[in-house]
Structure 1
Amino acid sequence: MWGLAAPAAVLALAALATRGVLAVLLRHAVLDHPNHRSSHAVPVPRGGGIGVIGAVLAGWLAYGLTQPALLLPLSLVLAAAVMLAIVSFIDDLRDLKALTRILFQLFAVLIGMLVIAERGLVFQGLLPPILDIFAAALLWLWFVNLFNFMDGIDGLAGLEAICLSVGLVLAGALVDLEAPALMLAAAAAGFLLFNWHPARVFLGDVGSVPLGYLLGFLLLAAAAGGAWAAALILPLYYLADASITLLRRVLRGEKFWHGHREHFYQQAVRRGFSHAVVGQAVLAGNMALIGLALLAGQGYALPALAGAAVAVGVLLAWMARAQPKP
């Protein structure tokens, strides 16, 4: 049942919920208006992530009810994700201070680390247990924010969520969490029906922040279970684009916590590539990363990591330099 029926049901639920949320957002004029940081030219409703997170919540809770050992861990993670969704929706409407957002995110990560710590050491014994928990929590906090930062063009966040979730399942990195991962991918696919270029609705922080949190949970769970190479390879494009861009802005003395259009994918859009073309390039790169994650699972971790670095380097170089054909 959980192999096909549940993801299909979650996909349908996410699509229906997104459609309903879209109508409400339009009715109340909850719109993302274009500005100098935007990659869109017309006002678009934001907040569609409500439907995505609602579908994931329903699917994961239903799965937890059939797996008693997972009910409490999944409930803790979902409770933290819902808290982030509420805080992030307030931020969508009123622009909360950065410190307020970070404190809630840190609290959610600490709740999640109670679950991750029970699954094993994320860094596989390279660090003492207390430092392992501390380092993993910082990585998770960074991933939540970078996933939000990278949600800047149509379809990108949905594609990434699908590729990460399905990639972890194909790589065999999630033993008891394969069904939740597939349901998360299905929810992202349901939203993508409305978010592919030209997007009819955006995730908003209410979607991108908790979605990044849940994906971070799956990645850390995979690493704690021993599949550290897959957990590093699969999100490598997102990690590289966000981290390199942040470092550049810090070195230039800019207010790195403010919005901008300097990510590699945004550079490609500014030079004239459509959102769809950039999304397709990211999809191709992620397909390569999934293949390399599978290779790592066969005992070739170092060659796979080297190949992943090359693949991501090629993708970033294309985004930074390629010119669209006239």
Structure 2
Amino acid sequence: MAFEPPRRLVRALGETAPAGDDWLARLPEAAEAAVARRGLTVERVQVPGGRSSLVVLVRLPDGAPAVLKLAPPRARPESERAALAHWGGLGAVLLLSADARDGAEGVLVLERLHPDVSVRSLPEAKALLEAAGTLRRLWVTPPAGHAFETVAERTGRQAVAMSADAERQPELAPLVDAALAAREALLADPPEERLLHGTFRQSKVLAGDRMPWLAVGPDPVVGEHAFDLARLVRDRVEDLIASPSGASITRRRIKRLAESLEVDQERLRGWTLFRAVESGVRALRVGRPQDGELLLEFAGWL
């Protein structure tokens, strides 16, 4: 079959593609080769799919349903594979292939979940409860000698880019300065580190058969719990911005999530600020002004 990348994937990867990157052009051929080498039967490409990888619904040689995922090197598929292997299906989608070549090729063979049913489909209070419970199961001690990026390393790269953007656009400077100050204070005295999902939100938790809800699509990082939880605070940010009480709802959400997962409330607020500003500035940088303005307005409440 033709492995045509979904439009959302083409658009998202096009925003961040380095000069000369031809991964998307080579993707159909790479997908054909991955299917043939593993003896898979293709059902269909998942549409609209994700923003960083091609997801294909397949059958294993024994007929069991599975998912084939292909991701470019900049999506760090080897890191995702290592995290999924360490979690072993506890709270996260199960890695089905132990082939060492998979990571180098940017290929993951995963258990089939229900891609159209995420925690986001639940009422907000229930969605936050289920998402938080899933996240708690992922917070484990990282493997000895791991090669995962740390929160300090990842946010350090982001801080450099944010500072450069603030120099070009001085109107961003107050929020960027506040976010950078929060990061510096948070990293000065960090709590015990755990393996984190890295990009956790409601849409990253899908319904499964083995367990009711399982996380997918990690960009794993090692650091403190509050960093992981911070992305969940701003879920459904469009609804928050549209609400006349959005700021107070956000404060209550921070309090509720911090208490339910035993995370320091002020540390959660600080990382929520940093991550919202970083995402907002990056959205402006890549030509998504509406997203950027929403995120920076949200950050202004913190």
Q: What TM-score do you get using the length of structure 1 for normalisation?
A: 0.28
- Greater helix percent: which structure? 1
Higher strand share: 2
